[in-house]
Amino acid sequence: MAIKEIRVPPLGDVEAVDVIEVLVKPGDRVEPDTPLITLESDKASMDMPSPEAGKVQEVLVKVGDKVKEGDAVVRLEVSEAAQALQTAPEPKARAPEPSPPPPSQAAPRPAPPPPVSVAAPPYASPSVRRFARKLGVDLSQVQGSGPKGRIVREDVENFVKARLSASSAGGLAIPAVPEVDFAKFGPVETLSLSRIKRLTGPHLRRAWLNAPQVTQHHEVDISELEAFREALRPEAERRGVKLTLLAFVLKVLPKVLAEFPSFNASLAPDGQSLILKRYYHIGVAVATPEGLVVPVIRDVDRKGVWALAEELQEVSARARASKLKPDDLQGGSFSVSSLGGIGGGFFTPIVNVPEVAILGIAKARMQPVWDGSQFVPRWMLPVSLSYDHRVIDGAEGAKFIVRFGELLQDLRKSIL
């Protein structure tokens, strides 16, 4: 093996340049054109490449040194055979100038996107630029900590760490699902999503990623309520109104929300305070042929069961006919999703952020319930409460859903 000193190539009319980065250390293996150090003049910066392959024995310079043409910077251990075969002179690097890196650098890489403004390009060495491109970092967003505001490798690393921390605090982005060619497995058909699903999809994704959600389940005995509702059927027919269980749910909710105000609230954008709402505008999820929409029933606390039943019937009809106005979908403080007309049991409704809670109602079913001496048939209603765990803890969630069940089970308690 032979030891060869790698020296600074001709610098043109530049007398001396600064060493701003040392890119190798003793023991490193390098190949021809591997950058060894980064040099900087008053005009620009450039990487100094290795003229041949070998093992770094010693680095003779450090960051902050000034070097001139002919100064030794690295001692490289090369094979004697390679040294004997080398007949051509060492490749000479061009003098620093504000232009792309010389062709003696590593194999061509994709160029960064063209600048979108006339502002000066970020102040960074070619090696730092390559590092930033590898990580997908836009250097125009990075603050340099080096001399004269130069961006160094640590600045890029710190920028990436800060972005990851910010993502963790506000809902970490997840990798995209890989694209799959399903046609290679069998016949397929592509069907466009409805306009409503295309609009609500991103909102649901934001809600799920930004709010840590917990779902609490409970069963409510509504046997007496169902008997009362059945007794009101003739009056409902006379009024031309469909008296659903949901109208009673809406009637009870303002009472429960008043007792648990943190459920009728929104978390402030800074995450440090809670905005309590002194109104009760409740969103009601309505299934339409185009997808799910959530019109808002306003001032629920000021309306009786008949008025709520009429409004539910009217707004549901407008939703299914695609005649809702923008105002119909805004201003909710709490939401309800009812599957009673469809069936099923417990489920996990997604909180309609920036609200902090949503109540899911499934279909009531007759079940045998032990009354202390025997099993008796009772109408049991599955309910599911999802909430933002940053605002509401498990104990609060349990108390809320139990209190809701008490009031729905015995409507007389709601007037006390």
Active site residues: 389
194 closest CA partner among 292, 286, 283: 292
How many helical (H) and strand (E) elements, i.e. helices and strands, does the chain have?
9, 19
Beta carbons within 8 Å of 36's beta carbon, 6+ residues apart: 6, 22, 23, 24, 30, 47, 48, 49, 50, 73, 74
State the Cα angle at 387 between 386 and 392, rounded to 5°.
145
Side chain identity at 312, as an amino acid letter? L
Our measurement of the distance from residue 206's CA atom to the centroid of its chain's CA atoms, rounded to an integer in Å, reads 6
Which burial class, exposed, middle or buried, applies to 270 when counting CB atoms under 10 A from its CB (0-12, 13-18, 19+)? Answer: exposed
Q: Would you state the structure tokens that stand for residue 286, as one six-digit string?
A: 């309505």
341 closest CA partner among 393, 296, 284: 284
Q: What is the DSSP letter of 230?
A: H
Report the 10 Å Cβ neighbour count for 170: 11
Three-class secondary structure of residue 259 per DSSP: helix
Contact 246, 225 (CB under 8 A): no
**CA–CA gap between residue 106 and residue 112 (Å, rounded):** 16
**CA–CA gap between residue 361 and residue 359 (Å, rounded):** 7
**Helices 223-231 and 394-409: crossing angle, nearest 10°?**
40
Beta carbons within 8 Å of 233's beta carbon, 6+ residues apart: 243
Contact 210, 350 (CB under 8 A): no
